[in-house]
Amino acid sequence: MANQPQKRKISFSGIQASGDIHLGNYLGAIKNWVALQEQYSGVYSIVDMHAITVRQDPKSLRDNTLRAYALMIACGIDLNKSIFFIQSHVPAHAELAWALGCYTPFGELGRMTQFKDKSAKGEDNINAGLFTYPILMASDILLYDADVVPVGEDQKQHLELSRNIALRVNGIYGNVFKVPEAFIPKVGGRIMSLADPTKKMAKSDDNPKAAIALLDTKDVIMKKFKSAVTDSEAEIVYREGKDGINNLLTIYSIVTGKDIPAAEKEFSGMGYGVFKPAVGEAVADFLAPIQKRFDELYGDKAQLEQIYRENAQKAAEESGKTLRRVYDKIGFVPR
């Protein structure tokens, strides 16, 4: 009997559609998702249900979701290798989240750093969804028997909660869930703000110069890099204490494929007035084919709708297998 081809392991990731997807999202996460498709079967999602823990304008949420969906495909999500769906189109996510919530101690959720940070700021919308959304995140991951989950340092705690929930349910009912591992990229994991290089580049930053949106025009990109915060040393080297230059060298290295020593050598003896526009040019050139592909996808709404409906069906089929397994173990009557 011929050897059966080995089943590829599964990678799961999701991204919110609130705000503009920026260069930090791409270099720190999406770029790795694209690369992982060569080794893993990808399951990727626009997690619009997570987005509503913060009040959203309905029209903006719909528009942002569709734009993010088209943009992710433009960035390299390969629909022949991966399932890519909109979270709210697959009811199993909310269904499993309820079940998992019944196996998650209140204290574990209370220790989640992001919830504590947001609560401490005294925000006027500290809702139950904000408290329990790590359970929905666990549902997202566990539904697809994910082997690995690419995460940034700020999401490691949520993945650990997912692992704890899986192990707890497995301890009660036997082999129900696959316990996922974290995948943390070594390079470009944290792209910092252009306005304050001690902080991570973020969608929520109030300073419009802090982040490079993937759909920014070349003129906007150049202006943002020219105004990027650096230091007074005028030396283009990567070393401790030079947060702004370190960040720009990291960005330049990733978008050009040159290592940082090569970039340092390229700009040796030059000033920041030369270096910062050069980084802007490199980023604009890097993003140009992504923007062109986005325009093609987003300009054909009928095709885009067909793609996300087909992928929602694929995701529903895969997640349904897990949900039925969980419901059987818990003791629910079969549908």
For the stretch 179-202, what's the b/e string if a residue is b when 16 or more beta carbons lie within 10 angstroms of its beta carbon? ebebbebeebbbbbbbbebeebbb
Residue 224 among the catalytic residues: no
**Residue among 118, 178, 199, 314 flagged as catalytic:** 118
Residue 303 Cα distances to 83, 90, 195, 312, angstroms: 16, 20, 38, 14
CA angle 273, 214, 231 (to 5 degrees): 30
**Residue among 156, 203, 209, 258 flagged as catalytic:** 203
Distance CA 276, CA 249 (A): 10
Residue 118 among the catalytic residues: yes
Residue 121 among the catalytic residues: no
Q: What three-state secondary structure class fits 29? A: helix
Q: What three-state secondary structure class fits 325? A: helix
Sequence-distant (6+) residues with CB within 8 A of 191 are 23, 24, 27, 28, 200, 201, 247, 250, 251
Contact (Cβ atoms closer than 8 angstroms) between residue 133 and residue 118:
no
**Residue among 31, 200, 224, 242 flagged as catalytic:** 200
Catalytic residue set: 118, 200, 203
